[in-house]
Amino acid sequence: MMQKRHKTVAVVLALLATPMAHAQSMDVLLNCSTCHVASPDPEATATAGREIYPVLNGQPARYIERQLMAYRQGLRQHRQMEQTALALGEGAGAMARLYAGAPHPELVFRDPPEDHATALDLVEDGDWSRGLAPCASCHSLDPEDDRARLSPRLHGQPEAYLADQLRAYADGTRSSDPMGRMRGYSERLTPSEISALARYFASWTPDSENSQGGSE
């Protein structure tokens, strides 16, 4: 069953990537897998473009669709993604569901915890004196957790991407968060805390022995 779903994902991606109106630029915009790989091999997905592009596999469909809408509405800033979101149009929901159902890698944390002390304090305990709730109260690694169905999975995302997004929330150039929660959170973080959190979440790497995506 899993192998058939993987084939379906590949076919849908190929169809979505075909040229529209014979325009090469449209073909590039709609070929999302050029940057966000949706491979039947979860480890390949996690390593392809790992230092640059966020991994969308297994992210909540509602979150992905909401971000595409944010690009269309100017709530997030990225020229190519803004154009892609506009080009997808009503297909945004289908693309969101495709990536949400794609296999994602099993991740492991191999670094000594003391190397991430600042980040772990914020992730596990927060800092209530500054109104900072624990990151783990919304962002979960467990795909079966209710939190993972609503908020994006940060573990295993590129360090530079995570830091850029936290800074964008802090300075208001990204405003796609419901009720301004991430903007309020990020603007209370110090630059060193932003760097520490980005490094911590990026340090979760694929576990090649236990990756999802095998046959059922």
Q: Is residue 68 part of a domain?
A: yes
Task: Give the tens place of pLDDT for each residue, 87-137.
Answer: 999 899 999 999 999 888 889 999 999 999 999 999 999 999 999 999 999
pLDDT > 90: percent of the chain = 61
Q: Is residue 213 part of a domain?
A: no
**Average pLDDT score over residue span 4-29:** 48
Same domain, 31 and 73: yes
Measured CA to CA, the distance from residue 139 to residue 154 in angstroms comes to: 7
Residue 5 has pLDDT above 70, yes or no: no
Contact 92, 68 (CB under 8 A): yes
Q: Which residue has the higher pLDDT, 191 or 22?
A: 191
The residue among 129, 145, 154, 137 whose CA lies nearest residue 204 is 154
Looking at residue 11, what is its pLDDT?
Answer: 43
Confidence band, pLDDT 50/70/90 cuts, at residue 168: very high
Q: Is residue 55 part of a domain?
A: yes
- Domain, as residue range, for 14: 2-100
> Residue 173 has which token pair?
């150039």
Q: Is residue 38 part of a domain?
A: yes
Same domain, 76 and 120: no
Q: Domains in the chain: how many in total? A: 2
Task: Give the tens place of pLDDT for each residue, 149-162.
Answer: 779 999 999 999 99
